[in-house]
Amino acid sequence: MKPLSVLTVLCVALVGCSEKPRPLAAQAALPDRLQSRFEDYCDETGGLGIGFVAWHTYDYRFRQYLKRTQDPELKRLFVLQNLHRETEVALDDLQKGIVRTGKTSSRSLSADEWEAARQRILQQVNDLAHYTAFTNYAITKNDPMDSPDPHLMFWIEDLREKVRSLTNAPGATP
């Protein structure tokens, strides 16, 4: 009986003296514009089928629930998914030289609009690079199995190269 009580006291003492993990919010501040983008993506109403189309309604309700999270990694991943899609669509529209005016309508870009769209896409690509690297300093303990793969960053350089290769001259864009 005595060894069992000594073992119990020893276990309680060890558990009580162990290092407690700090909350994630105190470990790293969110990168610029991540919180505002996260809120914008959570509030997106899409095709306004909310209340008429079941999956639109459930998706919107889920995003409103998701908006209350304090997990920076979840926010980062949600923004990365949506920002990557948004950047690809904007890059495709810039390649075509159009601006969308509705769901199925578009018009040609003027030279000033083309340059503004190009600058906005470059900012989005820079944000993608920043948000992708964010997790590297959000984690306090480095595990050798979690080391970032340098080949994963090539997709950002591919996006930058696509933006650099574009020109606003008619017919010059591949």
Domain boundaries, the chain: 72-165
Model-wide pTM > 0.75? no
- The residues pairing with 108 across neighbouring beta strands, listed in sequence order, are 98
In this predicted model, which residue has the larger pLDDT, 146 or 91?
91
Model confidence at 135, pLDDT cuts 50, 70, 90, reads low
Residue 25 confidence (pLDDT) above 50: no
Distance from chain centroid for Cα 35 = 10
Reply yes or no on whether the pLDDT at 89 is more than 50. Answer: yes
Most confident range (mean pLDDT) of 100-109, 127-136, 152-161 is 100-109
Helices (H), the chain: 2-17, 24-27, 34-43, 54-66, 72-96, 111-138, 154-165
* CA 100/CA 123 separation, integer angstroms: 19
Name the average pLDDT for the chain: 79
The values of phi and psi at residue 97, to 5°, are 75, 35
146-163 pLDDT tens trace: 666 666 668 888 888 999
* Local confidence band at 57 (pLDDT 50, 70, 90 cut-offs): confident
Residue 148's pLDDT is: 61
Give the pLDDT confidence score for residue 24 in this predicted structure: 46
